[in-house]
Structures are given as structure tokens and as C-alpha cells.
Chain A
Amino acid sequence: MSLYYVQKLIYNLNRDPDLVFKFQEDMTGVLAQYELTTAEMDAIRKPDIGLLYVSGVNGQLLMHYAALREYEWDDYIQAMKDGLKKYGNVKAGYYSRTGGGAV
């Protein structure tokens, strides 16, 4: 599990428009530069926002990755809910605690 590098990639994407361009042109090439498992690469590539959330990606990073992959806000929230149903509780990090449901 290399949650750190999944988050590092998203952090870099948030900061660097050139990297976003490269990522869109050659996702596999960019992913190869990070220490990621095959499952992580697949989740990022797809993207499986629910799985990334359940794996422990911090929401402050994940919401921007979802936006980059053209998720509207409500779809992003729904993708995390679907992830919880499909993969169970969040496995790591401070974004595991849910508040018990609201909007």
C-alpha cells in the first residue's frame, strides 16, 4: 500500500498545470514515476473515486482529483458513498470518520 504516493501524485497534479497536461496525454507514463501498486494505478486511471476514498486519500486532495476528472460536486459525494457500500469502511487517515450523514 503506497497511500503516500497516491496522495503525492494528486498533490503534484494540484500544483502543476504542466503535469496535468502530461497526465492527460500519457497517464501511464506519469503513473510509472510514482511507487504505486497495480490496484492503485487502476483506481487512479479509471478513476475509482470511491476506492481512492476508502483507501484513505485525504478528501482535501481527492475532491480536486475528482474535479480534474470532471466530477460535479454531487457526483463526487455520491462516488464516496458508493465506495463505502462497495468496499467497506475507510482504511486509513483522518478522512475516515464520517459525521453520520447530512446533505
Chain B
Amino acid sequence: MSLVFAGICSHAPGITGRAERADPELREGLYSNFNKMRLAIEATKPDALVVIGAEHFANFFMDNMPAFCMGMAENYYGPIEDENWLNIKRHKIPGNPELSEQLITMIMEDIDLAYAQEWKFDHGIMVPLNFLTPDYQLDIIPVNINCQGPPLTPLHRAWKFGQALRKACDKIPERIAVVGTGGISHWPATPDSGKINEQWDRDFLEKWKNNNAEALLSYKDEDVYQDGGQGGFEIRTFISVAGACEGNTGEIWFYAPIPIYAVGCTIGSMNLSKS
């Protein structure tokens, strides 16, 4: 088996862009758990990190919106946003087109997957990379799930994508780490930015931790919108990671609502020992 690490994390732009405005203790808690995740990923000596993200109209728009897209580029660039706004310097990020092609070819057997040989990362991928691969040395393979432009990718398809990714990883010798990144409840970039439904978040994370497919896939978009806001649609990325780790359970390393970051900041991982 070649899936060596599977985790989840937040990616809200405030985490770096408005870093100083949070309660320092909470910020430290979040940052140190990002660091813990970096060390955990490094310890597994991965050949590549697959980042399952939910981007925000940096590359994909309603003129041609894929339900799923995977990168197949030699290099990526990011952040697409203003460097000062996000407080992350622009970088060239190494890809791995051969490995991408192998994975895409296998995943396509199960999922209608788009691919992209150009991709400018937005905060949805850059904020995690800023903490997880700060030297930009590890090959990155980005994945996008449409969580922004309705009709959105159905949850059960996000799960299936995770399964297909796992199946593909199991067939190759390369060591793959995967991180799903999204928010749980949040109302980002609205007048109510900063509102977080902590109870709803904790309830979701409990289901994620137990890797309870039935519970995770029973969410309805209308309810997610009501209880978790438009940012809540990003649970698709966490659900994909759970799908990739079917049969395993996980742990939540950190969860805290940090209003100025506009999201309940989350770091967690699946325990792959039973695979």
C-alpha cells in the first residue's frame, strides 16, 4: 500500500493574511499543529503530496466547471492572490506530471476526472503548503472538488473520489501523502465572516473521526447551507479523505473557532495502521 499519510486541515486566508489579529494562544495552537502535521508527513517520506482542495474561482469558473480536477503539471504557481493580502510570497511549486498521469489514468476508471496542466494555486492550497511544505521541495499534486459554483459535486461522489484515489495509490510503488483542506461551518467573505457554528463542526468532526460513511454522506446541502454556511460546502474535501481511508478511524489534533480567521480551525489525521 502506498498511501502513507492522510490528514485534513483548514485553509482560510485569514490564517496567514490576518495572522496577528487572532488570540495568540489559539494561533500558536493552530500553528504548532500545522507544524506537527508537517513533521508527520515528512516522517512518512512521501514521494508526493496530493492536496484535495476546494478552490475559490482561481482556475475554475462557471464557463467550464469540473466536478473534479487533478493537476498534471510540471510546476504550479501561487498564491494567485496579492502576496501582501495573503502574507505568503509567490512561489513556483514542483509538480510530478508522470505520477499525476498514472493516478489520473487509474482514477478515471471510476470517476470522470478533468485534468489540468496549468494551475495557479489560491489560498485554498497555498495556506496549507505554507505550513506543510514551507521549502516547496515536495512534489504537489492538486485536486479540486467543486464546492463553489452550483450545482456542486455530490457528497457521495466526493467519497467515491477518495476511494478511487486510494485504489490508484495502492497500485503504485510511490509513497503518497494526502491532505484534504476545507472549512467546516463558516460564512467567509460575507458580512457575517467570523461566525462559526462550533457544535455543528464538532458533530461533523466526530463523524469524520469515526469514519462513519453513512453519517458523513447523509448531510443535505440545504441543511449544510443553513447550519454551516456557504463555507460548509467544503466538507467535500474532508469526506474525500475519509473515503480514501475507508475502514480506518482518525483523530482530531486541533479544533478551535478563530473568528478573525473566519473558520473553526481544524487539523486532523486518519490512522492508516489498519490498512
A residues lining the B interface (CB < 8 Å): 4, 7-8, 11, 14-15, 53, 58-64, 67-68, 73, 77, 80-81, 84, 94-95, 97-103
Task: Give the interface size class of chain B.
Answer: 20 to 34
- Say yes or no: A81 contacts B191, CB within 8 Å: yes
Per the bound structure, the CA–CA distance linking A94 and B152 in Å amounts to: 11
Q: B269 contacts the other chain (Cβ, under 8 Å)?
A: no
Per the bound structure, the CA–CA distance linking A20 and B106 in Å amounts to: 40
Q: Which of A8, A58, A62, A73 has the most CB of B within 10 A?
A: A73
Per the bound structure, the CA–CA distance linking A1 and B161 in Å amounts to: 36
Per the bound structure, the CA–CA distance linking A103 and B148 in Å amounts to: 23
B residues lining the A interface (CB < 8 Å): 18, 56-59, 61-63, 80-82, 85, 120, 148, 150, 187-197, 225-226, 229-230, 233, 259-260, 262
- Say yes or no: A99 contacts B82, CB within 8 Å: no
- Say yes or no: A80 contacts B191, CB within 8 Å: yes
List the A side residues contacting B63 at CB < 8 Å. 8
- Say yes or no: A98 contacts B192, CB within 8 Å: yes
Per the bound structure, the CA–CA distance linking A73 and B188 in Å amounts to: 12
List the B side residues contacting A15 at CB < 8 Å. 58-59, 80, 120
- Say yes or no: B225 contacts A94, CB within 8 Å: yes
Interface of B is mostly: loop
Selected contact of A102 from candidates B80, B120, B195, CB within 8 Å = B195
Per the bound structure, the CA–CA distance linking A64 and B81 in Å amounts to: 8
List the B side residues contacting A97 at CB < 8 Å. 187, 190, 225-226, 229-230
List the A side residues contacting B226 at CB < 8 Å. 97
- Say yes or no: B193 contacts A103, CB within 8 Å: yes
B207 to chain A, nearest CB (A): 22
Per the bound structure, the CA–CA distance linking A41 and B102 in Å amounts to: 46
Contacts A81-B191, A103-B259 supplied; 11 other A-B pairs, CB < 8 Å: A7-B57, A14-B57, A59-B190, A60-B188, A63-B189, A67-B81, A94-B225, A98-B187, A101-B191, A102-B195, A103-B195
Considering the complex, give the chain A residue whose CB is closest to the CB of B21: A73
B186 to chain A, nearest CB (A): 8
| Known interface pairs A8-B63, A67-B82; A99-B188 also in contact (CB < 8 Å) | no
- Say yes or no: A58 contacts B148, CB within 8 Å: yes
List the A side residues contacting B18 at CB < 8 Å. 73
A49 to chain B, nearest CB (A): 11
B63 to chain A, nearest CB (A): 7
B124 to chain A, nearest CB (A): 9
